[in-house]
Structure 1
Amino acid sequence: MQTILGSGGAIGIELAKSLKQFTSDIKLVSRNPKKINDTDILFPADLTDPAKVDEAIKGSEIVYITVGFPYNTKIWQSTWPNFIQSVVDACIKHNAKLVFFDNIYMYDPNYLDGMKEDTPIKPISKKGIVRAEVLNRITKEVESGNLKALIARSADFYGPSIVNTSMLTETVFTPLSKGKKANWPIALNYKHSFTYTPDAGKATALLGNTDDAYNQTWHLPTAKNPLNGKQWVTLISKEMKSKNKVSTVSNFMFKVIGLFVPVMREMPEMMYQYNRDYDFNSDKFTNRFPEFKVTTYEEGVKEVVAIDYKD
């Protein structure tokens, strides 16, 4: 049995699709899970309840964490550490391997241009501090020999059918589709990598089913040569056949936008990622799995527009 904790989000859905090539025994766990594959087993659960986490993990060979708790600092602080501890404890108890879908929030901001798996961990945001604590709880058990786990780390992501969890969707795709200006954070001249969610799902499934990938950190496959803000807006507007219009948005304006778009309310502390180059290196993965085709930015944007924004 391979179990996805947090199966209803953008990554969980793509992961479930991709796991089908490795197993027909897939358990989807969330508050209201829905089948992705015909043979999926649905397990409704409140993942903040350790007893439910233990019950969900029992009988699992591999457990994937793709849960997305509400993007709110206070919720993250009160929820993530306890949740991770309950997962780690249950995986050890039931001898299950763990795959943790992670982000880059814990990295030292001075090393974002060319991030690799050994980038120094030195978070400056409250959310980054939470992610560092979560990571520490996993690696501590791995280093002690109690747990077999891997970290599958993604850059900011974009992809089809994402609602309220992608910066690129909220600031560029959606406003341009409505004939409005795109709202790029801080400055247009810095490059910024984005991981394509279908690639992330396929790669996470592949790593989870590759025994020698465990007890390591992996950057998920992400296109090279990231675009800067102006280039992202130009590419997306061209594919949408919309006007190429963009404004840069300050921290203050993100707070104003947050009155109407909740995810934006939480973004000001993360804006350091947009006042410098953000280049996510995934050479370790592509060297280990050379047959994996990484979606180019042009291909990814074309697919998103075709799926989500065509009449």
Structure 2
Amino acid sequence: MTKHLVVGAGPVGLAVAEHLRERDEDVVVVTRHVKHALPEGVEHRRVDVSDPTVAAEAFADADVVYQCAQPPYDAWPDLFPDLTRGIVEGVEAADARLVVAENLYMYGEVDARLTEDLPYAATGPKGRTRAKCARMVLDAHDEGRIEATIGRASDFFGPRVRESAVGEQVFGAAVAGKRAMVFGNPKYPHTYIYVPDFARALVLLGERDDALGEAWHVPNPETVSTRRFVDFVYDAAGADPGFPHIVAASGLVLTLGSYVSSPLKELSEQRYSFEAPYIVDDSKFRDAFGDAVTPTPLETAIEATVEWYREQGAAADPIRLGTDADHPTEATQQ
């Protein structure tokens, strides 16, 4: 039986572990801290894999390693490269295969649909850090040190996704009967992805030899405007149709807010993705793998996320960016 090792227990890491356990696979989750409520049957190892020696020991029995971890959002430039290096060297020592979950920061601001052949043109520190880490993984593959593939996705939503552009401040607000706060101009189309779909795509990439050595935009549901997305959320939550759903934080509000709010300051680098169309092209994945991973219909995914929020209750701070935030998208914590 294949041994799967998932680094990180944020929403993406846990969704990967859940999907693998649904297939009755042997799964280990690795984190720096003790984690509760892991999927049934999942083993936990508490180690810091930014140390290559420790990573090599932790990965020794692994066949596939899924990198779904990240440092705190405000410490990416300082900590992310070492984390990536430790994982790459640990995978190399274990002779395992590496699957990396990434966002789209490395591309920077673009005027067209986002495709995998775009240059890494980010100018902000987080985008440059993501580019550096992606190059580290793909260079290791090209040098023959490891087998690796990368799955990339835009802003996340779904179970456990609270610290996201459409997390607590949209889904949590809808369930609580409050107005949603969104960033930028909600009239523009923006691709959002359902975390369980991302997890299924990552597992597929890890299984396919023809996925190796490349980055792939995982299949997305229908891209709609942020306003339309929020309307779907409030419809699923049973909101009064006449209730004003959105408060938009854009332009001057975000600029001034960044001076007094650390979370807003951290988000300011990615403002561009909410102030113009932000559409992810997933045709490369679909052309290569067909319907092996079919995205959950958007409204169905939103209904499931609303139900999860109802069951879990509200979080204390909708825009806190801690160790499980990624974009203001999710996502992956160690």
TM-score by length of 1: 0.90
Q: What residue identity is the alignment partner of 2:245?
A: K
| Residues 86/286 of structure 1: CA separation in 2 closer, same or farther (3 Å cut) | same
Higher RCO, Cα 8 Å, sep 6+: 2
| Residues 134/241 of structure 1: CA separation in 2 closer, same or farther (3 Å cut) | same
Q: Tell me the equivalent position of 1:145.
A: 144
Q: Tell me the equivalent position of 1:306.
A: 307
User: Secondary structure at the residue paired with 2:145?
Assistant: coil
Report if the CA contact (8 A) 2:175-2:306 is conserved: no
How far 1:258 moved relative to its partner?
A: 7.4
Q: Tell me the equivalent position of 1:234.
A: 231
Whole-angstrom CA distance in 1 between matches of 2:88 and 2:71: 17
Whole-angstrom CA distance in 2 between matches of 1:262 and 1:43: 32
Q: What are the superposed Cα offsets for residues 160-208 of structure 1, whole Å, 9 maximum, x if unpaired?
A: 22222x1101332222333322222121221100010011111111211
What is the root-mean-square deviation of aligned Cα atoms in Å? 2.3
Report if the CA contact (8 A) 1:235-1:298 is conserved: yes
Report if the CA contact (8 A) 1:184-1:249 is conserved: yes
Percent of aligned positions that are identical: 24
1:94-113 matches, within 5 Å, as: 94-111=94-111, 113=112
Q: Tell me the equivalent position of 2:198.
A: 200
Whole-angstrom CA distance in 1 between matches of 2:81 and 2:294: 35
Unaligned 5+ runs, structure 1 = none
| Residues 205/253 of structure 1: CA separation in 2 closer, same or farther (3 Å cut) | same
User: Secondary structure at the residue paired with 2:106?
Assistant: coil
How far 1:302 moved relative to its partner?
A: 1.0
TM-score by length of 2: 0.84
How far 1:65 moved relative to its partner?
A: 0.3
User: Secondary structure at the residue paired with 1:176?
Assistant: helix
Whole-angstrom CA distance in 1 between matches of 2:259 and 2:27: 39
The alignment status of 1:66 with 2:63, answered yes or no, reads no
Q: What residue identity is the alignment partner of 2:90?
A: A
Whole-angstrom CA distance in 1 between matches of 2:68 and 2:77: 17
User: Secondary structure at the residue paired with 2:234?
Assistant: helix
User: Secondary structure at the residue paired with 1:115?
Assistant: coil
Report if the CA contact (8 A) 1:153-1:220 is conserved: yes
User: Secondary structure at the residue paired with 1:266?
Assistant: helix
Whole-angstrom CA distance in 2 between matches of 1:238 and 1:256: 32
Whole-angstrom CA distance in 2 between matches of 1:178 and 1:306: 12
Report if the CA contact (8 A) 1:9-1:68 is conserved: no
1:104-253 matches, within 5 Å, as: 104-111=104-111, 113-164=112-163, 166-224=164-222, 226-242=223-239, 243-250=243-250, 253=253
Q: What residue identity is the alignment partner of 2:56?
A: D
Q: Tell me the equivalent position of 2:28.
A: 27
Whole-angstrom CA distance in 2 between matches of 1:248 and 1:78: 32
| Residues 20/176 of structure 1: CA separation in 2 closer, same or farther (3 Å cut) | closer
State the number of aligned residues.
305
